[in-house]
Amino acid sequence: MQLYPAIDMKNGQCVRLRQGKFKEITVYSDSPEKVAAYWESQGATFLHLVDLDGALAGYSVNEDAIRRIVAAFSKPIEIGGGIRTEEAIERMLNLGVSRVIIGTKAVQNPLFLRDAVTHFGADRIVAGVDAKNGLVAIEGWEKVSEITAADLCGQMKEYGVRHVVYTDISRDGMLTGPNVEATKALTEATGMDIIASGGMSSMDDLRRLHEAGVKGAIIGKALYENRINLREAVEAFE
């Protein structure tokens, strides 16, 4: 199981939100590149970046920070947040990021995702599926659609998408444990690389995902609050 330490960026800082609410914010560091270098020193083999300003604005506003993180972290990096055009994908890949996560745009215009996979290749594109009570949420989680996560993933698979970051919003930043059942069901129904996100709180959570056959897990707040030791987790589950 691939582990992804998360760095959420807002105003060039490394932060965490509770349930995606921009009012409930904790700043962990003014230097996200130092955080990235630290996770690499602890054994990280892949980094998950989120541009929170970009998710709301619809375009990247933390490019300087992203550039510094790429310089500080030698392993692959994926990024999401406000990436809604082919030019934006290209710009991120040109900055040295390995994979780009498409969220809102994938729901609003699934053909955009299909074209992106065709143009850039399936290993460069990740679909971001954020769900609340099984329904997909968009635009920085401010709106909930009428599409179920399972239907959306099925549609994406037809378009050649292989990687999906699946976030259960109700659990994000709450340290209440991931939605193992929903993530396992999506993995089994689609056969895709479903990466669990939201609620990771302990080694036991990671163990449950690992035993359920889930392919990846993003760890955020639990790392910053010392509930999960990254080095131990990498040794146990990767």
pLDDT tens per residue, range 61-112: 899 999 999 999 999 999 999 899 999 999 999 999 999 999 878 888 889 9
Residue 166 has pLDDT above 80, yes or no: yes
Which pLDDT score is estimated for 140? 63
Q: pTM of the predicted model, to two decimals?
A: 0.93
> Could you report the per-residue pLDDT of 102-147, keeping only the tens digit for each?
987 888 888 999 999 999 999 999 999 988 878 898 776 677 888 8
Summarize the confidence of residues 179-195 as an average pLDDT.
Answer: 94
Question: For this structure, is 168 an active site residue?
Answer: no
Catalytic residue among 51, 53, 130, 168: 130
Of 8, 51, 168, 193, catalytic: 8
Annotated active-site residue 130? The verdict is yes
User: What is the per-residue pLDDT across 19-39, written as a single tens digit (0 to 9) for each?
Assistant: 777 788 899 999 999 999 999
Query: What pLDDT, on a 0 to 100 scale, did the predictor assign at position 60?
Result: 83
Q: Is the pLDDT of residue 203 over 70?
A: yes
DSSP per-residue string spanning the chain? -EEEEEEEEETTEEEEEETTEEEEEEEEES-HHHHHHHHHHTT-S-EEEEEHHHHHHSS---HHHHHHHHHH--S-EEEESS--SHHHHHHHHHHT-SEEEE-HHHHH-HHHHHHHHHHH-TTTEEEEEEEETTEEEETTTTEEEEEEHHHHHHHHHHTT--EEEEEEGGGTTTTS---HHHHHHHHHHH-SEEEEES---SHHHHHHHHHTT--EEEE-HHHHTTSS-HHHHHHHH-
Options 3.40.50.300, 3.20.20.70, 1.10.1200.10, 3.30.1280.10; which CATH number does 2-237 get? Answer: 3.20.20.70
